[in-house]
Chain A
Amino acid sequence: MKCSRIKSLLSPYRDGELSSGEREQVEQHIKECEVCSRELTEMGLVGTTLKEIKMAPVPSDMWERVRSEWPWKTKSRTPGLILRYAFLALLVLGLILLHVDLKNRKPSALLDFPEVENQFQEEVVEIYFG
């Protein structure tokens, strides 16, 4: 098999992604071809070099950085806001009701004088029941 064909198979060969037939062809070829064999070694070296990326440590403040932009910050605030608005609404409603109640209440002088009220009640009883 020609080198050009084998060269395109070297990368998947290194990754174990060839069929058994193709793998045998590559192995047979690189036993005899020094150029392709060297290319395979170089490919391995590139891979080993790239592994260096895995050695890089993750910045220690990464979680803090993610946390500082917490996506649910607004959501967690929402219930608080709702409660605050609900409390305000209840307060306003209460004040309105109190105002209406006070406005509708008829001033009764009798209420301020329980003795007179009792006397009045007795008179009413007398009128009705004799």
Chain B
Amino acid sequence: METELLEIIRQVKNGEEEACYGLFRMFKTRIYHICLGILGDSFLASDATQEAFIKMFRSIKGLRKPEKFYIWFCRLAINTALDKKRKANRECVLPLEEESAHFAEPAPKHFERDELRRQIGKAMRALPGLFSSAIILREIEGLSYRGISKILKCSIGTVRSRIYRARNLLKEKLIELGCKMPTPPEEEKAERNSELSLY
């Protein structure tokens, strides 16, 4: 995988379009979800993802350590999303999703899921950018604190405290929004109880 990625990066640097598409396919979902997590709005997240990819393709030739591509690209995407978030907050942009929600009722089948996503979006938008990027890298990307600290260029202790605060703020916000959080899976409960019983 790592070798394949390095080869694709080399080809992208040579301007091979097929390799560019390959790289896009490899990272589109991850980058989109990071942007969506930070911005909490699919329209803004689409713009941020597009912008992040264009920036990446423009500057990849200057990337001296291709083995650190993921860290570099992740940082670039996070910065792009945070810029967008700051700009949206400054301009008090009402997310289009909310606007459309007034006009078009979601199909009943998907109502609960749509509603949950909307609430998560609201809660994430309310979160300061530094906290949202840390919690997204942990919960969505599944990165370790060390990995997150490399991307966010901060200490592991800072990552730890940002994630802790993000979780508390998110919990408060979701409760405030009346969000129906999913019940914990029974296996998870049982697993935790069995783990505890070991000690």
| In the assembled complex, A43 has its CB within 8 A of some CB on chain B | yes
The A-B contact count (CB < 8 A) is: 112
Where the two chains meet, the residues of A that have a C-beta atom closer than 8 Å to any C-beta of B are 8, 10-12, 15, 17, 24, 27-28, 30-31, 41-56, 58-59, 62-63, 65-66, 69-72, 75-76
Q: Are B24 and A56 in contact (CB under 8 A)?
A: no
Q: 11 A-B pairs, CB-CB below 8 angstroms?
A: A11-B164, A12-B164, A30-B196, A47-B167, A52-B117, A53-B37, A56-B32, A66-B24, A71-B57, A75-B15, A76-B15
Task: Tally chain B residues at the interface, Cβ within 8 Å.
Answer: 44
Q: Which residues of A contact B183 (CB under 8 A)?
A: 45
Instruction: Supply 10 further A-B pairs (C-beta < 8 A) apart from A15-B144, A52-B117.
Output: A10-B164, A17-B144, A30-B196, A42-B171, A47-B139, A48-B184, A49-B120, A62-B24, A62-B50, A76-B15
Where the two chains meet, the residues of B that have a C-beta atom closer than 8 Å to any C-beta of A are 15, 21, 24, 28-29, 32-33, 36-37, 42, 46, 49-50, 53-54, 57-58, 113, 116-117, 120, 135-136, 138-140, 144-145, 160, 163-164, 167, 170-171, 174, 179, 181-184, 188, 195-196, 199
Q: What's the Cα separation between A81 and B139 when bound, in Å?
A: 49
Q: Are A52 and B46 in contact (CB under 8 A)?
A: no
Q: Which residues of A contact B164 (CB under 8 A)?
A: 8, 10-12
Q: What's the Cα separation between A56 and B196 when bound, in Å?
A: 34
